[in-house]
Amino acid sequence: MSNFWGQNNRGRGRGRGRGGGGGGFGANSNDGNRAGANPLLSRLGNTSGQFGDQGYHPGGQGSGSGSGFGSMGPNKSGTFIDSHMVGNSGGTAQVSVKGWRGGTEDSLLKFLDTKLGRPVGVMDIHYRGEIMYITVPSADIAQGLLNLSGIRFAGDKLSFQLKTHPVKFGTGGGGRDGGVSNDSVKLKDRLIALLQTRVDMQSNSLDLSMLGQDKIIASLGTDAQQEEKMYKAILVIAAQIYPGLVTINLAGNGLRSLKGVADLGLHFPSLRNLSLMNNLLADFSALDCVSSMGSTVPLKHLDMLILAGNPMAEAELRLPNGGASYVNKVQQRFPTISMLDMNPVVPRAQPGAGPSKGSGSGAQKQLPFPTEQLFVENQEIGDLTNSFLAGFFSFYDNNRNALADIYDQAAQFSLVVDTTHPTSEFAQTSADSQKHVDFSVYIRLSRNLTRVKSPQRRISSLIVGRASVMQTILQLPETSHPVQDAQRFSFDAWQTLVPVAAGPPQTVAVVAVHGEFTERSSQNLVSFDRVFVLAPAPPGSPAAAAGSPCIITNDQLTIRRYNGFYSWLAPSASAGPAEAPATNTGTGTGVGAGTGTGTSLTAEQQEMARALQEQTGMNAGWTLKCLQSYGWNYQLAISEFPNVRNTLPPEAFQ
C-alpha cells in the first residue's frame, strides 16, 4: 500500500533510543504536564464523586496566591493614596464607591469618566477602609454613577451609594480617618522625596532600581504584601510630577509580578526604555500586563527592554535554540523593541502601532486579544500532527474506507452541529457564509449535549467501536479538505502520559484542529473543529502497516457555518499568501508537511528557518536561500544579515 502519511514515520519506536521511555512519540520531552514525574500517575485509582472539594467549590481555596490578584485585606486600606483636602459645598453630592481596589484611583476615575460619557469632575476623595468617598459637583452626576452600580472594573464589581448624610472627614486628627490622611500626606511627601533623588530630568529617566536598599523605602517599613500598592503609588505620583519620562529602571527589585507597575503604559505613554533586569519574573506571561497581550494601554513606544537576570529569560536561553524562542516570546509582547538585553533585534512593528496583528490584516478583525494560528508543544509533536492530519484528511476525502485501519478497535466518534450564524465581518460579506447550507444530514447525528437531553439519546448518539465509526463516517457527505493550503487550518497539539497496567506509561497526543472542507456534491464550504486523541500505532498493527504513526481513539467533530480562516492568520501570512506561520514556516508547507519541500529539511533546519524568518522578516523562500548560502550555520546567517540586508530585493520581505 502506498504511504499516504508522507515521510514522517519518526513517531514509531522513537522512545527506544532516548531514556528508555515508552514507545510513544516524544516520550523524551520533559516540558509540559506529561513529564515523567507526573503526580497524576501515582495518584490514580480514586473513583468516587464529581468535582471534589478541590475541584468544584469556588472560594474554597486558590484565590490569592503569590503576588495577588487584587485581593486586599481590610487592614491595608488607602494608606498609599493621596487625599485631596477640599471641603464639601452646596449642590455637591457624596458617593461611596466599593469594589475598586483591583485598580488604581487614577484608572478608576478615568474609567468612570468613560462609562459616564462625561467628566465626573471629582472634587474630593477620601477613604475609610476599603470604601472610597468621592464628592461630585451635582446630584445628576451622582445619579449617573449610581446607575453604573454593578459594572465590572479591574476584576470586581463596583457598587455606588449616595450618601444623603455625607460622611465628614476631618483635616487632621479629628475623625476616625484623620490618622490615615496624615499618614498618606506624609507618605506622599516621602515618595516625592524618593523620586527627587532618583530622577534625571535631562534624560527624562527615573531610576527605581534596588528600592529595597533605599533609606526612604526602608523608613516606610513596607512589607511584601504592600509592595504592589507601593509601586502603584510611586507610579501615580511620578506620572503627576514627571509625565514625560522615557526611561524607567526597575532592576533588582525582586519583582515576581508586574501587577504593581501594570499601569506603566497608562502613566507614561512615551516610555521608550525599560529595565526589569535581575528580578524574579518566572514566566513570560508576567509581561502580559504591560504588553498588548494583557493591557489596553500597552507600552506602544518601547524601544529598549532589559530582562536579563530573570528566571524566565535564563530558563528560555538554556533551551536548544533558546535564543530565538526567547526573542520571539518577548517580541510577541513588545513588537516595537529594537534592543533586547542590549542586543539588537529586528522590530516587528513601528512605535505607536497597536498590536502587530492589527496592522497587516486590515479591517478583517476586531479581536479583544491577539490570536495565533497554532500551538504545538514541541517540534516532534508538530511534525507528527502535520503528518497525521495530512494523511487523515487525504484518506477521509479520497479513500474513507481505508481509515478502518487507523481507528482503534474501541474508537469513539461523535458529531455536533453548531448552527450559529457567524458574526464576523468576513462572514457578513462572504457568499459562502451567507449561503443557506443544509445541515440536516449531520443534524440527525448531532449529540450536542446542550440540546440532547435524554440520557439514552446521549449515549446512543456516541458512536463506539471501529465498525460503527466506519459505518457512520461513510454515511457522511463526501468532502474535500484543502490540506495543501496550510493557512486554512489552525491546530493545537499536546501530549500526555497515561499509565498502563503493565509496562511503561503510554504517550497519547491530543490534537484540536480548526479548518474547513467543501462538500463535493453541494460545493458548500463548511467550517469545522475536530479533536483527536491519538495513541502510537502498535508495531505490526494495520495502522502501522498503512504507514500511520498513530491510531485514533477519540474523534470529535463539530461543524459550523463557514466563517473563513482570517482570525488565526498572522500579519505576515495575510500580507503574502501561502506563508504559513507554522512551526515549520521555513518550509511553507504547514499541514501538508508530508508532501512539500519540508521533506528535505530536518527538524533542526526547520527550526532554524523559523527563527531566522522571525528575526529578519524575510519570507520563507528567501530565508531558506539565506540559510543554504551560509551552509545552515544559523549564527553566521543571523550575524551576516545586517550586512546583506540592503542587497536583498523588496520581494524578499513580502
Name which of residues 442 to 471 contact another protein (CB under 8 A): 447-450, 455, 458-459, 462
Residue 175 or 370: the one with the smaller Cβ distance to another protein is: 370
**From candidates 16, 18, 84, 152, binder to another protein by CB under 8 A:** 152
Grid cell, residue 303, equals: 524601544
Q: Which is nearer to another protein, 38 or 484 (CB)?
A: 38
Q: Which of 252, 307, 248, 260 is nearest to 283 (CA)?
A: 307
Rounded to 10°, the helix 227-241/105-116 angle is 70
Contact between 46 and another protein (CB under 8 A)? yes
* Stretch in the footprint of another protein (CB under 8 A) among 216-224, 409-417, 571-579, 634-642: 409-417
Q: Are strands 273-275 and 304-306 parallel, antiparallel or unpaired?
A: parallel
Residue 324 as a binder of another protein (CB under 8 A): the answer is no
CB of 344 to another protein, least distance (A): 25
- The reply to whether 296 sits near another protein by the rule CB under 8 A is yes
HSE (CB half, 13 Å, CA atoms) of 456? 0
Instruction: Confirm if 18 and 392 have CB atoms less than 8 A apart.
Output: no
Reading phi first (left if > 0) and then psi (alpha if -120 to 50, else beta), residue 172 is in left
Asked if 224 interacts with another protein (CB under 8 A), we say no
Measured CA to CA in angstroms, residue 634 lies from 342, 481, 610, 624 at distances of: 20, 35, 11, 11
- How far apart CA 536 and CA 24 sit, in angstroms, is 6
8 A C-beta contact, residue 396 and residue 517: no
| CB-based contacts of 88, cutoff 8 Å, min separation 6 | 94, 124, 135, 166
Number of C-alpha atoms within 13 angstroms, CB side, residue 373?
25
Place of cell 445619579: 143
* Smallest distance, another protein to C-beta of residue 530, A: 8
The whole-angstrom separation of Cα 652 and Cα 650 is 5
Measured from the CB atom, the residue of 183 and 283 that comes closer to another protein is 283
Cβ proximity to another protein: between 209 and 373 the closer is 373
Strands (E) across 63-182 are located at 93-98, 124-128, 131-136, 152-153, 156-157, 159-163
Is 429 an interacting residue with respect to another protein (CB under 8 A)?
no
Closer by beta carbon to another protein, 374 or else 618? 374
Smallest distance, another protein to C-beta of residue 538, A: 13
153 binds another protein (CB under 8 A): yes
The crossing angle, in degrees rounded to 10, of helices 603-616 and 322-333 is 40
Of the candidate residues 214, 397, 418, 640, the single one contacting another protein (CB under 8 A): 418
Map residues 156-185 to x or -, x wherever contact with another protein holds by CB under 8 A: x-----------------------------
As given in the structure block, the three cell numbers for residue 258 are 508586574
Q: Is 341 in the site for another protein (CB under 8 A)?
A: no
628 Rama sector, left if φ>0, alpha if ψ -120 to 50, beta otherwise: alpha
Q: CB within 8 A of 433, min separation 6: which ones?
A: 422, 426, 427, 561, 562, 563, 564
CA distance 365 to 355: 12
CA distance linking residue 578 with residue 487, whole number of Å: 7
**Contact flag: residue 203 with another protein (CB under 8 A):** no
Q: Which of 19, 155, 179, 352 binds another protein (CB under 8 A)?
A: 155
Shortest Å distance, C-beta 228 to another protein: 13
The correct pick among 261, 406, 416, 445 for binding another protein (CB under 8 A) is: 416
| Residue among 366 and 647 whose Cβ is closer to another protein | 366
Q: Residues 251 to 270: which contact another protein by CB under 8 A?
A: 257, 262
For residues 418 and 6, what is the distance between their CA atoms, to the nearest angstrom?
Answer: 33
| Contact flag: residue 55 with another protein (CB under 8 A) | yes
Q: Which is nearer to another protein, 124 or 555 (CB)?
A: 555
Report the residue number, 611 or 637, with the smaller CB distance to another protein.
611
Distance CA 557, CA 578 (A): 26
According to CB under 8 A, which residues from 13 to 42 bind another protein?
Answer: 32-33, 38-40
188 vs 610, beta carbon nearer another protein: 610
Cell of 415: 458529531
Is 52 a binder of another protein (CB under 8 A)?
yes
Candidates 1, 2, 17, 58: give the one binding another protein (CB under 8 A).
58
Nearer to another protein, 92 or 558 (CB): 558
Number of residues near another protein (by CB under 8 A): 105
Using CB under 8 A, which residues numbered 366 to 405 contact another protein? 366-375, 377
SS3 letters for 317-344? HHCCCHHHHHHHHHHHHCCCCCEECCEE
Asked if 207 touches another protein (CB under 8 A), the answer is no
Which one among 1, 2, 51, 647 touches another protein, defined by CB under 8 A? 51
The reply on whether position 271 binds another protein by CB under 8 A is no
Figure out which of the listed residues 137, 166, 294, 351 binds another protein, where binding follows CB under 8 A.
Answer: 294
Q: Which of residues 543-562 bind another protein (CB under 8 A)?
A: 553-554, 556, 558, 560
Sign of the Cα torsion 613, 614, 617, 620 reads positive
Which sign, positive or negative, has the C-alpha torsion 22, 28, 34, 37? Answer: positive
Question: Which CB atom, from 204 or from 490, has the smaller least distance to another protein?
Answer: 490
Does position 220 bind another protein by CB under 8 A? no
Site membership for another protein, residue 113 (CB under 8 A): no
Q: Pick the closer one to another protein by CB: 126 or 561.
A: 561
Q: Smallest gap, in angstroms, from Cβ of residue 544 to another protein? A: 18
Which candidate, 404, 330, 383, places its Cα nearest to that of 491? 383
Segment contacting another protein by CB under 8 A, of 54-62, 170-178, 226-234, 240-248: 54-62
Residue of the chain from 163, 365, 625, 645 that contacts another protein (CB under 8 A): 365
For cell 486579544, the residue is 369
User: According to CB under 8 A, which residues from 494 to 513 bind another protein?
Assistant: 494, 496, 498-501, 506, 508, 510, 512
Q: Of the candidates 18, 19, 30, 56, which one interacts with another protein according to CB under 8 A?
A: 56
Q: Where do the DSSP E strands lie in 6-58?
A: none
CB of 194: closest distance to another protein in angstroms? 28
Mark the segment that binds another protein (CB under 8 A) among 175-183, 283-291, 476-484, 517-525: 283-291
In angstroms, what is the minimal distance from the CB of 450 to another protein?
Answer: 5
Give the single-character DSSP code of 627.
Answer: H
> 17 by DSSP, 3-state: which?
helix
Return the residue of 347, 422, 482, 617 that touches another protein, per CB under 8 A.
Answer: 422
